[in-house]
Amino acid sequence: MAEILANGVRLHVQRVTPPSDVIPTGQTVVLIHGLIVDDLSSYYFTLANPLAAAGHDVIIYDLRGHGHSERTPTGYALRDSIADLDGLLTALAIDRPVHLVGNSYGGAVAIGMALAHPERVADVTMIEGHYATRGFGAEMAETLHLVTTGIHDEKWVTWIAERGRKTLKLARRGVTLIEETSISADLLATPAAPRESVAALGVPILGIYGGDSEVLERGRDLTNLVADSHLIVIPDCDHRVLFNTAPYLCEVLVWWYAGRVGAPPVFVPPAVPFEPAPLSKKMFPAAAP
Amino acid sequence: MRSHLGAVIGDPELVHTEITMETTFGGDLDLESIEFVALADRLRTAFGERVNFVAFLAEKGVDDMVTLTVGDVVRYVAARVREG
């Protein structure tokens, strides 16, 4: 486990490099995870190792307050997440543009990074990614409220308990992150990124969203706004695109990073329907404030 | 293996846990995904690139890692080290 001081915060970082029998592409991919009940392990067991096996230098890290990274009492605004990532790249002495991949909230960090430090970003892949549109802060704060309400909701507790004690432990740790730090207030205060700035983004955007996702419209909006972009919609899938379609995502990323030669890989739907996301509003609509 | 597990879980939590070859990571030790990552990292550092935890899990077809035992990992590491 590598612990790296970035922007004054101790971040847990894992660097997954190509195996010795693979020719390195010389490209670096940084994977940014989602909020609260998420950490770098979501990527470690899905995209990180296959991308390294394809020759990429892959960096995954736990966001501040998540996983094994330092839990500071404050500093959870989107601009802090961007400064942490910028500090991490500096600490790792990476001065060439990197490919960013953001899952959910990680998408907002990736787009924010591309806006603030375009020279550091080769392109951005949004996996069900949010970005700082008008109302983004309120939406994030509402999601955090759903988590703190849900931990006292019998239906939700039963659902996660069925998935094992460690899932419940992860959820409870997420609740303490919300209750013991400034994360809700920090996110609520997120300013919207000016649409003209997003439209003028000089980096290509690949969006991969679920057809049944509440975030799909954000992906449509973003890819309509940015000229050099490509949107892939996974039918009958909700917010859990990363967990449900990881092997396909790897194929798409390898195609994208190799220069988008030919048509993108085609998604083959599974025989069994996808499991619904645990924190969808459909699951406990009454819990919303 | 106990020292590696102690490092990723935190020794106090292991004091009252007897670790045998049959101990399961998911059930008995309640290991979280992030702790699996730390364990994989430690094993790779200790034994080199030949010990690839992710490839091992893929080969076994273990999705949720609940049934994976300490013995499974010890036997895998031993085999890879023997192969050189």
Cβ atoms B54, A190 nearer than 8 A? no
* Rg, chain A, Cα only: 18
Question: Tell me: the pLDDT tens digits for A103-137?
Answer: 999 999 999 999 999 999 999 999 999 999 999 99
Residue A249 · residue A127 · CB < 8 Å:
yes
Mean pLDDT, residues B27-32 taken together: 78
- Band of pLDDT at residue B62, cut at 50, 70 and 90: low
Q: What ipTM was predicted for this assembly?
A: 0.75
pTM for this predicted structure: 0.89
Q: Which pLDDT score, from 0 to 100, does residue B31 have?
A: 81
Q: Is A72 within 8 Å of chain B by CB?
A: no
- Taking chain B, what is the end-to-end CA distance rounded to the nearest angstrom? 19
Query: Each residue of A172-206: pLDDT tens digit?
Result: 888 999 999 999 999 999 999 999 999 999 999 99
**Angle, helices A78-91/A105-116, rounded to nearest 10 degrees:** 70
* Phi, psi (degrees; rounded to nearest 5) at A146: -60, -40
Window A:125-164, CB contacts with B under 8 Å: 164
Model confidence at B70: pLDDT above 80: yes
Hey, what domains does chain B have and what are their CATH numbers?
Answer: 2-83 (1.10.1200)
- In the predicted structure, residue A285 carries a pLDDT above the cut 50: no
| Segment A133-171, tens digit of pLDDT | 999 999 899 888 888 887 777 877 787 777 666 777 778
Q: Give the gap in angstroms from C-alpha B51 to the nearest C-alpha of chain A.
A: 11
pLDDT at B14: 64
Position A288 confidence tier, pLDDT thresholds 50, 70, 90? very low
CA distance B75 to chain A (A): 21
pLDDT given for residue A11 in this prediction: 97
Query: In chain A, which ranges are continuous DSSP H helix?
Result: 41-43, 49-53, 78-91, 105-116, 136-150, 154-161, 165-180, 183-188, 195-199, 216-225, 241-257
Model pLDDT, residue A286 = 46
